[in-house]
Structure 1
Amino acid sequence: MQPENITLNNPLKSRNDLQNLANEVLNAVSPFFKKDASRIDLANFTAHYGQEIANMETFSRLLWGVTPLLAGGGEPEHFSFYIQAIKNGTNPDHADYWGEVAPYDQRIVEMAAYGLLLAVAHQPVLAHFNEQEKHNLWQWLKQSENQDIPDNNWHFFPILVQVGFHHCGMPNNAQALENHFAAMESYYLGDGWYSDGPGRPRDYYISMGFHFYGLIYSRLMADVDPQRCKKLRQRAKLFAADFIHFFADDGAAIPFGRSLTYRFAQAAFWSAAAFAGPEVYEPGVVKGIVLRHLRWWLQQPLFDRDGVLSVGYSYPNLIMAEDYNAPGSPYWGLKTMLVLALSEQDAFWQAEEMPLPVRESPHSIPHASQILVHQKHHLWMLTSGQLELNNFVNTEAKYCKFAYSTRYGFTIERGRYGLNHAAPDSMLLLSEKDNYWRGRRECQQVSTADGMIFSRWLPWHDVSIDTWLLPLGDWQVRVHHLKTARELDCAEGGFSLPNRPIPQTQMVQGSCLLTTPTDTSAIYCLSPKSRSAQLVLTPPNSNLLFAERAAVPLLQGELNIGTHLLISATWAGDCDDFEAQSCPQAIISEGVVRLVMGNQSKLLILEKHP
């Protein structure tokens, strides 16, 4: 059922179209506004920080849509409610005061929205505040300056607060700003890439966190901090040359990593690039990325019946939610509305929407240990395993699969017992003959070179696996050199397809091929010891892109104690484009594997790893 209060057929071609969407998304929440309150309660579930803070988060994240409207000369329909809620929430004498923050407090995250509000829309907002109310707001936000926070992208939240103070004339703390920038400098990896803290993943937080806030800073603080602003813009330009590969021609972005419920925040970087103007690409190219992305999202069932954004990815799905995903969390996607702060006369809005430029394929990103492949109607990514130190829900599924896809998404675990629950797509899973499965998680060694990704991982202390991932044309090839001191079962999966319509299945020794009227997903065993074919159906709501049960083509085998070589090739895409005869071949000699497809070849020396 589609919500009546969100215009899903909005063409999203013009500034007015996007302004209408922003207002509709905000107005869908307005029935939950309560008089004299500073929080919004949307649903009967919560996050680890509890319901009161979750409700404060819901209100605060709406400001990522409200602020661009105000900065662009507009005004949200319920402007007076937002003004009064901010006054109440920052007034220590009010019953609905947001309170004093503690170390690692979620409220510090939300303060960034108020920093941007004060920076670009202080005039229409503070015109409604008396001096005491302004002081209350300043005093409440000031708590972020020196509070203990996670050592990651959170450092930008106090920075944006200081930017807001600077622009609205409130006292600011230059040393706090310097301290937070200094902490983040150690995360910089080069070529525009950060990690999300020491030894942390390289995921969408690099785009919608570091660069999004960095670009905002580079525009708003250019007059007082020109050298840093120049550096932030240069890094963003370098990053853009890689990040453009994460977006398909239809606007979809590759689902990968945590916090996917923020949805169209995947394109927030491009809105910040348009806002800050580092000229990463022509305005029409950036405009096309933003608007196609939003149009793609409007085709997904991401709203509840009342038009409220759900928690989930392409559909409501609490199974994939993080511990910190509360009912209002998805409204961080409104960060992509930042382009509404630009006037109609800005180059972004004046430009004709342009398609994506021609991009090389495959495209390697060594700092992120990723390789992007632009197949016809299918964008996919090979990746190493990245360890998320916080061990958020389904970390292995979100970070450690071999491949992720705009077209086929990925499945999440529903349990470790039984292959159907263990999310076998794009994974090599192992069990000790007991049907409890484990796959790649922490990697002892990772490198990306010569168009390949190498990782060494130990699913048990006495089981070592060297894995090479490489694209050959539109095929994905995996080589696993495995040494085990245990008797094991193994299962390796290709990309998953929706099980509706039910795919036709061809299973012979060493290959499994699934075909629907539009799609094909196949996996072939290329190693000397053939594995048997199997079809696995996952539970409903396990794939992030479709709610139906997912059909996964598998290769399954047994491994005795010793050394083994497992090689597979997978393919997925338009069924009309599939050619089984184009499958790569593996030529194996003493310690050497040569992979050949047509006139392409790659040589691997098994005992010589990076």
Structure 2
Amino acid sequence: MQPKNITINNRLESRDDLQKLVNELLNAVSPFFKKDASRVDLANFTAHYGQQIANMETFSRLLWGVTPLLAGGSEPEQFSFYIQAIKNGTNPEHADYWGEVAPFDQRIVEMAAYGLMLAIAHKPLLAHFNEQEKQHLWQWLRQSENQDIPDNNWHFFPILVQVGFHRCGMPNNTDALETHFAAMEQYYLGDGWYSDGPGRPRDYYISMGFHFYGLIYAKLMADVDPERCNKLRERAALFAADFIHFFADDGAAIPFGRSLTYRFAQGAFWSAAAFAGLEVFEPGVVKGIVLRHLRWWLQQPLFDRDGVLSVGYSYPNLVMAEDYNAPGSPYWGLKTVLVLALGQDDAFWQAQELPLPPGDAHHSIPHAAQILVHQPNHLWMLTSGQLELNNFVNTEAKYCKFAYSTRYGFTIERGRYGLNHAAPDSMLLLSEKDDYWRGRRDCQNVTTADGMIYSRWLPWNDVTIDTWLLPLGDWQVRVHSLKTERELDCAEGGFSLPNRPLPEAQMAKACCQLTSVTDTSAIYCLSPQPRNGDQVLTPPNSNLLFAERAAVPLLKGELSKGTHLLISAVWAGDSAVFDANTRPQAMVSEGVVRLVMGKLETQIMLNKLP
């Protein structure tokens, strides 16, 4: 169903086109504004922080679109509502006051939007505030300075508030800046990469969080903090050289990790890079990434019928949502329209849109334990060793699979009983012959080197698996050396295909190939350990990219107590170019696995772990 109020065929080629889209996104929400209120109620579901704060979040996240409009010289149609809502929400005497914040309070997250507004749009905003109203706003925001918060990207929220205070002439707290920057320095990994807190993942929060806010700081605070600003720019430039590999030629980004309902926030880093004038790629390259990414998202059914962003990924899907995803949470995606704060004469808008620069087919990122593979019409990523310690819903599916794909997405778990519920794509799943399945979760050791990723994981305390993941050309090869003290069933899946139209399945000993008119997904057993080809259909709404049931090619087998070697080759992409005869071959002798595909060859020493 085509949404009302949103021009989904917007060509998004110019600044005016993007401005039109932002106004449509904001106007689609305006029917839910309530007179004399400071919150927006979009739906009858909520997050763990309750409906009142969720409604305040919805209003606040719209400001990520309002602020660039104001900074760029225009106003949203409902500007008077935004002004009054901010006055009401920060006035302790008003019935709809946003309240005093508590430790680990979601309202601290939302304060960052007000910090940016004060930093780059304070003139058009504060022109409508009297002195008492300004005092109320300052007093409410400064609660973020010393409040207890999670030890992760949240440290940037009070920092942005202080940037706003500095830029608009309100009293600011430099000690708070130092405290929060010092905390984040503890999890800088090098080469532009952070973890999202001590021992935490390296996911999209590094781009849409750390570097997005860091580049805003570098742009706006260079006059008072030049050394730190230069460091933030240098780190962002290093990160950009890796992060560009997360984007496909058509604008799609690899779905991976949590908070995927923020959708086009995946591209927010590039808007911040343009805003800060980060000279890492030509302006036309950055412009192309941002606009193609937004165009790709406009082709997805991500709106409801009223043009309001849904919770989900490419379509409305509460099943994949974390417990902090409220009805208005997706509007964090508006961070990507920061480029509207740049005038028409800026290099970003003046540049001719350019394609992605040429690069290597395989790109390794050791700090994130990832290898990106640029296959024609298919971008995919191998990964190991990431885990969200908070154990948000479907953590294993979002972080722990062997591979993630722009074209085939991934499936989330709908239950542990039955393979069809257990999200078997890009996973090796094991059961104690009872149809309850478990796969890789935490990794004891991870090493990324020599074009491959090694990990050790223990699905039970007496089952140890050493896994090597590597690309050979467009093929994905997995080597599992497994020691078990239990008898097990095993199932290993390739990439999932949409089940509409129903793919043709070719199943035999040691292989399963699924083929539709446009796509092929195949998995082959390369090891002496016998496994048979099979397929499974997942429930509807389990794949993040398509709502219909997903078909997953499988290799299934039985494992006795002892030591086993499982080797598989996986391929997915255009049916027209698939050739099973090009698949890698594996030769095993004296603890060495030799993998050969044409002129490509590599070896894995099973007894010499990284």
Global fold match (TM > 0.5): yes
The code of the aligned residue for 2:196 comes to: D
The aligned residue for residue 255 of structure 1 is 255
CA distance in 1, matches of 2:243, 2:173: 33
Shift of 1:402: 0.2
Match status 1:377 vs 2:381 = no
**Equivalent residue of 1:588, what SS?**
strand
CA distance in 1, matches of 2:31, 2:6: 14
The aligned residue for residue 196 of structure 1 is 196
Shift of 1:607: 1.5
The aligned residue for residue 446 of structure 2 is 446
CA distance in 2, matches of 1:204, 1:4: 30
The code of the aligned residue for 1:429 comes to: L
**Equivalent residue of 1:12, what SS?**
coil
Please give the residue correspondences for 1:186-265 in structure 2 after superposition, counting only pairs within 5 Å.
Answer: 186-265=186-265
CA RMSD of aligned residues (A): 0.4
The code of the aligned residue for 2:76 comes to: P
CA distance in 1, matches of 2:516, 2:116: 48
Do 1:385 and 1:440's aligned partners in 2 also have CA atoms closer than 8 Å?
no
Shift of 1:4: 2.1
CA distance in 2, matches of 1:568, 1:588: 13
The aligned residue for residue 4 of structure 1 is 4
**Equivalent residue of 1:43, what SS?**
coil
Match status 1:545 vs 2:545 = yes
Q: Give CA deviations for 1:207-226 in whole Å, capped at 9, x if unaligned.
A: 00000000000000000000
Match status 1:104 vs 2:131 = no
The aligned residue for residue 330 of structure 1 is 330
Do 2:90 and 2:140's aligned partners in 1 also have CA atoms closer than 8 Å?
yes
Please give the residue correspondences for 1:319-468 in structure 2 after superposition, counting only pairs within 5 Å.
Answer: 319-468=319-468
Please give the residue correspondences for 1:7-406 in structure 2 after superposition, counting only pairs within 5 Å.
Answer: 7-406=7-406
Shift of 1:120: 0.3
Shift of 1:93: 0.5
The code of the aligned residue for 1:331 comes to: Y
CA distance in 1, matches of 2:545, 2:353: 27
Q: Give CA deviations for 1:391-418 in whole Å, capped at 9, x if unaligned.
A: 0000000000000000000000000000
CA distance in 1, matches of 2:476, 2:161: 45
Shift of 1:280: 1.4
The code of the aligned residue for 1:127 comes to: A
CA distance in 2, matches of 1:12, 1:4: 18
CA distance in 1, matches of 2:196, 2:361: 27
The code of the aligned residue for 1:122 comes to: H
The aligned residue for residue 563 of structure 2 is 563
Give aligned pairs, total.
610
**Equivalent residue of 1:420, what SS?**
helix
The code of the aligned residue for 1:288 comes to: G
Q: Give the 4+ runs in structure 1 shifted more than 3 A.
A: none
Give the alignment's TM-score, normalised by structure 1: 1.00
The code of the aligned residue for 1:178 comes to: E
CA distance in 1, matches of 2:578, 2:160: 50
Shift of 1:385: 3.3
The aligned residue for residue 494 of structure 2 is 494
The aligned residue for residue 599 of structure 1 is 599
**Equivalent residue of 1:453, what SS?**
strand
Give the alignment's TM-score, normalised by structure 2: 1.00
CA distance in 1, matches of 2:52, 2:46: 9
CA distance in 2, matches of 1:4, 1:464: 53
**Equivalent residue of 1:564, what SS?**
strand
CA distance in 2, matches of 1:461, 1:435: 19
**Equivalent residue of 2:121, what SS?**
helix
Shift of 1:590: 1.2
CA distance in 2, matches of 1:133, 1:529: 73
The aligned residue for residue 532 of structure 2 is 532
The code of the aligned residue for 2:3 comes to: P
CA distance in 2, matches of 1:373, 1:604: 20
CA distance in 1, matches of 2:484, 2:25: 54
CA distance in 1, matches of 2:547, 2:316: 9
The code of the aligned residue for 2:120 comes to: V
Shift of 1:26: 0.2
Q: Give CA deviations for 1:67-92 in whole Å, capped at 9, x if unaligned.
A: 00000000000000000000000000
The code of the aligned residue for 1:176 comes to: A
CA distance in 2, matches of 1:561, 1:360: 42
The code of the aligned residue for 1:235 comes to: R
Do 1:70 and 1:121's aligned partners in 2 also have CA atoms closer than 8 Å?
yes
Shift of 1:278: 1.4
Q: Give CA deviations for 1:18-47 in whole Å, capped at 9, x if unaligned.
A: 000000000000000000000000001000
Shift of 1:464: 0.3
Shift of 1:387: 1.4
Shift of 1:306: 0.2
CA distance in 2, matches of 1:317, 1:80: 33
Do 2:385 and 2:445's aligned partners in 1 also have CA atoms closer than 8 Å?
no
Q: Give CA deviations for 1:563-590 in whole Å, capped at 9, x if unaligned.
A: 0000000000000110100010000001
CA distance in 1, matches of 2:539, 2:579: 30
Q: Give CA deviations for 1:267-317 in whole Å, capped at 9, x if unaligned.
A: 000000000011110000000000000000000000000000000000000
Do 2:301 and 2:315's aligned partners in 1 also have CA atoms closer than 8 Å?
yes
The code of the aligned residue for 1:525 comes to: C
Match status 1:581 vs 2:581 = yes
Shift of 1:354: 0.3
CA distance in 2, matches of 1:584, 1:72: 54
